[in-house]
Structure 1
Amino acid sequence: MVDVSEKPPTAREAVARGTVSMKKTTLRLIQEGRMSKGDVLGVARIAGIMAAKKTPGIVPLCHPLNITSVEVAFEYGKKGDRIHIESRVRVNGQTGVEMEALTAVAAAALTIYDMCKAVDREIVISDILLIEKRGGKSGTFKR
């Protein structure tokens, strides 16, 4: 692990996004709440939040952080065949939360896949990326 003991704690934030593409009929089942496993986006939101908090146990060499906020939001794509996921993670600490934001998106996407795979095996998870980060020595990054 990188030694961050000499770094002062600062307010830090990271935003990540990803996309889950599927059949239009699958998205309609999600929107109508008719997926047999239940509320897909509600469960995916909780999975994303939990994953952000558990990142050091999933990604080797990540520092355990005292995360102050995790938000996971969903937006339906204009073509009616995809869901865009966005996570926003905040911390007051000595290292950033980029990995936590990316892990939240990945877990939310995998949960959507898991809850929908019985009706759609062609689901694609794609474009998981960091959109922006603020705080720390390196300052602000915006894609």
Structure 2
Amino acid sequence: MMFLRRVTSKLKPMSRSRLFSSDNGPDLSEVIAELNQEMEFVFGEPPASSPAGSSNSQTMAQESHLVMNDITKKETFSGLTHIGSKGEAQMVDISSKEITKRVAVASCKVILGQKVFDLVLANQMEKGDVLGVAKLAGVCGAKQTSNLIPLCHNINLSHVHLDLKLNPRDFSVEIKGQAASTGKTGVEMEALTAVTIAGLTVYDMCKAASKDILITGIRLEHKSGGKSGEWSRKV
């Protein structure tokens, strides 16, 4: 009520002729400015210049928010090639990539325990040659990678090699696998699958003697070829 009385008192003395005259009396713009100050004092914020201006400001703010969200999404998924802009899974299109020689080396370790280690070393496991069977299983596993992992490309492997060694220091089998191909995509997954399947086969061959066997340390050691070039794990 106090605010309305103040507005009325300011507008009442102004006749129609004075409102549009250029006399020394109070100018319309000055009155409006003073009223705006009063409104800011009462309501705590300056009034919108016009309904259209207020609407435009809200629209611009919403558009800016949407653009920032879109940029954030793109930044979130830019480093993940198997995820689309909306977060959905996708197979990477490699048609534009160059054909290069690609090599990857991976490794893992199977900790047997002394009892099982001694049996494997003496080739006395009931199922037979543990290391020989695991080596063959690793080669077969590398060739089946695209069937096991949904978004992997089906590639032509030119070479797969596995090396399994018994380590008496921690009673383990150390497995290292290499995969090679000449194509448009890398063979990291093939090398990792090779050592993983070999490790699982060691477990299968030895599980009758112990359930306490541990498969650990599955990791990529080295890769070369392709756009990203050469990479090696730092020890």
| TM-score, scaled to structure 1 | 0.97
- In structure 2, the partner of 1:27 is 117
156, 161, 179: which one aligns with 1:89:
179
- In structure 1, the partner of 2:163 is 73
List structure 1 runs of 4+ shifted beyond 4 angstroms: none
Distance in 2 between residues matched to 1:106 and 1:99, nearest whole Å: 10
Distance in 1 between residues matched to 2:123 and 2:172, nearest whole Å: 16
In terms of fraction of residues, the more helix-rich structure is 2
| CA displacement at 1:33 relative to structure 2 | 1.0
Structure 1 residues without counterparts, runs of 5 or longer: none
- In structure 2, the partner of 1:102 is 192
| CA displacement at 1:42 relative to structure 2 | 0.6
Highest relative contact order (Cα 8 Å, sep 6+), 1 or 2?
A: 1
Distance in 2 between residues matched to 1:33 and 1:111, nearest whole Å: 15
- In structure 1, the partner of 2:64 is none
2:199 partner letter? A
2:169 partner letter? K
Larger C-alpha radius of gyration, 1 or 2? 2
Counterparts of 1:1-143 in structure 2, within 5 Å, are: 1-143=91-233
Q: The residue matched to 1:2 in structure 2 has which SS?
A: coil
Structure 2 residues without counterparts, runs of 5 or longer: 1-90
Distance in 1 between residues matched to 2:195 and 2:145, nearest whole Å: 12
| CA displacement at 1:60 relative to structure 2 | 1.1
Q: The residue matched to 2:158 in structure 1 has which SS?
A: strand
Distance in 1 between residues matched to 2:170 and 2:185, nearest whole Å: 38
Q: Percent identity?
A: 45
| CA displacement at 1:118 relative to structure 2 | 0.4
Which moves more between the two structures, 26-35 or 58-67? 26-35
CA contact (8 A) 2:104 2:188 kept: yes
